[in-house]
Amino acid sequence: MLKTNTIKQNKYTAAKSELQKYTRKLKSDWWEAKAKSLQQAADINDMKSFYGGLREVYGPVKRGTSQLTALDGNTVLQEKSEILNRFADHFAQLLNVPGTLDIKAAIDIETRPEVHCLSEPAEVWEVIDAIDDIREGKAPGKCRIPSEIWKHGGAEILSKLHQLILSVWRKKGYLKTRFGEEESRDVLGKFDNFSEKTSNKTIKKHQLLSTKQECLSIDEYVTNLHRL
């Protein structure tokens, strides 16, 4: 019918063209808005929103499964008990590898000097810097208090937190609380995994966040916070 009627054919062609232009514009606008939102998330280091946007673009990751074989590489394991035993054998071979230690080389390792400022009580600006480095949108720690409360709660709550950290640091003894009496002297060696470029300020932030999140349970935390 459309082929025989020129007027209707022209109207159909024009409507189809307008629809295609409209859908292409919608698609282009969506991509531009998505690219802008991804760039904004990357600029503020909001990785949660960034990767969430990527999943919207590319869709969920399709993960395939491969069959598990025995040590000979040919026999396919199907029974649950066989699969569990195979995993146990695999990790036993992977982790229980005998090693040799050259005592002389261990003795020759240069001892890093102690950084005494790490054991000094924290200043309020150090607490603020440590709180600012916490990423938002993450699950809270043992205190069950979201990081957004500390970051946007104002100066008064940061002052209370600073007093609480000082109380833990001085009265209970931060080093002894986490590592015990005998190991407290060597606690600075725990930070040898940090690179040489890592500043003492960064290490101090890790100590402050560990003090806030790990040393106190929620009951102790709230009780001490109300006492201040």
Q: Is 220 in the same domain as 133?
A: yes
Q: How far is CA 34 from the centre of its chain?
A: 24
Residue 1 is assigned to a structural domain of this protein? no
Residue 107 is assigned to a structural domain of this protein? no
DSSP assignment of 66-125, as one string? ---B-TTSSSBP-SHHHHHHHHHHHHHHHH-------HHHHHHSPPPPP-GGGGSPPPHH
Residue 121 is assigned to a structural domain of this protein? yes
Question: Can you name the residues that pair with 69 across neighbouring β-strands?
Answer: 76
Tell me the one-letter amino acid at 45. N
Q: Is 220 in the same domain as 162?
A: yes
Q: Is 146 in the same domain as 169?
A: yes
Residue whose token pair is 């514009």: 25
Q: Is 137 in the same domain as 185?
A: yes
Its domain, for residue 76, covers 65-98
Q: Is 171 in the same domain as 193?
A: yes
Three-class DSSP category at 61:
coil
Q: Is 48 in the same domain as 83?
A: no
Residue 154 is assigned to a structural domain of this protein? yes
Neighbour tally for 129: CB within 10 Å: 16
> Can you give the pLDDT at residue 22?
92
Q: Is 179 exposed, middle or buried (0-12, 13-18, 19+ CB in 10 A)?
A: middle
Q: Is 120 in the same domain as 194?
A: yes
Q: 126 near 208, Cβ under 8 Å?
A: yes
Q: Is 124 in the same domain as 223?
A: yes
> Can you give the pLDDT at residue 25?
92
Neighbour tally for 115: CB within 10 Å: 12
Give me the residues of the chain with pLDDT under 70, please. Answer: 1-4, 64, 142-143, 171-228
Residue 105 is assigned to a structural domain of this protein? no
Instruction: Provide the domain count of the chain.
Output: 3
* pTM, rounded to two decimals: 0.37
Q: 204 near 166, Cβ under 8 Å?
A: no
Residue 194 is assigned to a structural domain of this protein? yes
The DSSP 8-state label assigned to residue 44 in this structure reads T
> Can you give the pLDDT at residue 190?
37
Using alpha carbons only, give the angle 136, 179, 138 rounded to the nearest 5 degrees: 10
Q: Is 135 in the same domain as 197?
A: yes
Q: Is 48 in the same domain as 70?
A: no
Q: Is 131 in the same domain as 43?
A: no
Q: Which two tokens stand for residue 87?
A: 């995993």
Whole-number Å distance between alpha carbons of 7 and 97: 82
> Can you give the pLDDT at residue 23?
92
> Can you give the pLDDT at residue 208?
56
Residue 39 is assigned to a structural domain of this protein? yes
Q: Is 219 in the same domain as 118?
A: yes
Q: How far is CA 159 from the centre of its chain?
A: 26
The DSSP 8-state label assigned to residue 154 in this structure reads -
Residue 75 is assigned to a structural domain of this protein? yes
